[in-house]
Amino acid sequence: MATKPGKITVVGSGFYGSTTALRLAQYDVVGTVVLTDVVEGKPEGLALDLNQSRSIEGFETEVVGVGGGSYEGTEGSDVVVITAGLPRKPGMSRMDLIETNAGIVRQVSENVARTSPDAVVIVVSNPLDEMTALAQLATGFPTHRVMGQAGMLDTARFTDNVARELGVPTASVQTLTLGSHGDTMVPVPSRCTVDGRPLSEVMAPDRIAHLVDRTRNGGAEVVALLKTGSAYYAPSAAAARMAKAVIEDSGAVMPVCAWVDGEHGISGVYLGVEAEIGREGVRRVVETDLTDDELAGLREAAEAVRAKQADVADL
């Protein structure tokens, strides 16, 4: 029996989806987390297992599993996290998944619009920027209620890379990445600090460049090591934090894939930017101070994803 108001649905009960559901349940900020999948029995079994951990971990959120592709029980969700789709395999780029995942994301989005017409949608399916644009088209929701998870993850990877390189706690490092979730990712060294000092003061330019490159290829690095499947611990943490910010109407400023309409001199595209997140999704895009090179990189990323996002309308 749900003890709090609020419902979050996670579509897809693979490693990413089930871990996202676990994190959201442990936050204990809503009464119900619904985990759905086309596979019969899997989300139900995971939900049973998760619920049996409640007394140990001290949370009351009820997890409900819905298999067989049904959306019964998801109705009226406040937030829907779309994780459905195929993961990458070694040697694959995110773009290699576009046609297959477009069909999945379109079908999911149409069901979400039917069952939870007032929800905020967080897309995590790859290729991220394109699937976020497709989800908005397929739901017909206002652009501020559809966003993608990418910048939170890429920023976390950049932070970890810097902390490990310098041998310092991750809490002492602040980083930022913008742009696309892929080749045109734009790490923002000018906004990076270590114990409040600019990154450029504590690390040589060639090492910064190396870590920027490693961050850009962070997903592929994990995929290559795993051999099967892709990252899910860090990605699920990022998606869950975004959903929590919506539920709590926190106004937290996070790097996310959001609709940009004039900010940074860019219009009409979903792009990784900093945004203030609240109950209605993206309250506003925050125009981060950027160097000329970083701004040029962001605008280049916008044009690269714009063409691909136009293509998904027909997928």
* Span 181-204, pLDDT tens digits: 878 889 999 999 999 999 999 999
Domain identity same for 157 and 302 = yes
Domain range for 307: 152-312
In a domain, 231, yes or no: yes
Q: Please state which of the ranges 74-83, 93-102, 124-133, 237-246 shows the lowest mean pLDDT.
A: 93-102
Residues 37, 18 contacting (CB under 8 angstroms): no
CA gap 30, 2 in Å, rounded: 8
Q: How far is CA 160 from CA 23, 98, 167, 211, 274, in A?
A: 20, 29, 10, 10, 19
Identify the three-state secondary structure at position 82. Answer: strand
Domain identity same for 114 and 225 = no
Domain identity same for 44 and 176 = no
Mean pLDDT (whole number) for 14-38 = 97
Positions at the binding site for substrate? 88, 94, 126, 157
Domain identity same for 65 and 119 = yes
Domain identity same for 65 and 97 = yes
Number of domains in the chain: 2
- CATH number for 229: 3.90.110.10
Q: Residue 252 — φ and ψ, nearest 5°?
A: -60, 140
Q: Residue 30 — φ and ψ, nearest 5°?
A: -135, 165
In a domain, 66, yes or no: yes
CA gap 165, 167 in Å, rounded: 6
In a domain, 2, yes or no: no
Q: Which residues participate in catalysis according to the annotation?
A: 181
Q: Please state the pTM of the whole predicted model.
A: 0.94
Domain identity same for 169 and 292 = yes
Boundary residue ending a domain (122, 148, 174): 148
Per-residue model confidence as pLDDT tens digits over 205-246? 999 999 999 999 999 999 999 998 889 999 999 999 999 999
- The pairs formed by 186-193 with CB atoms below 8 angstroms and a separation of 24 or more are 186/272, 186/294, 186/297, 186/298, 186/301, 187/154, 187/158, 187/212, 187/215, 187/216, 188/288, 188/290, 188/294, 189/294, 190/289, 190/290, 190/291, 190/294, 191/288, 191/289, 192/158, 192/162
Boundary residue ending a domain (113, 148, 183): 148
Q: Burial-class residue 10 by CB neighbours within 10 Å (0-12, 13-18, 19+).
A: buried
Domain identity same for 190 and 57 = no
In a domain, 131, yes or no: yes
pLDDT recorded at residue 192? 97
Domain identity same for 187 and 235 = yes
Domain identity same for 112 and 249 = no
CA torsion 123→228→21→58, rounded to 10°? Answer: -150
In a domain, 238, yes or no: yes
Domain identity same for 133 and 162 = no
**pLDDT of residue 263 exceeding 70:** yes
Domain identity same for 38 and 168 = no
Positions at the binding site? 12-17, 37, 88, 94, 101, 124-126, 157
Boundary residue ending a domain (148, 173, 189): 148
- Angle between helix axes 292-312 and 98-115 (nearest 10 degrees) is 80
- CATH number for 102: 3.40.50.720
Domain identity same for 115 and 158 = no
**pLDDT of residue 311 exceeding 70:** yes
In a domain, 1, yes or no: no
Mean pLDDT (whole number) for 139-165 = 97
pLDDT recorded at residue 310? 78
In a domain, 82, yes or no: yes
In a domain, 112, yes or no: yes
Positions at the binding site for NAD(+)? 12-17, 37, 101, 124-126
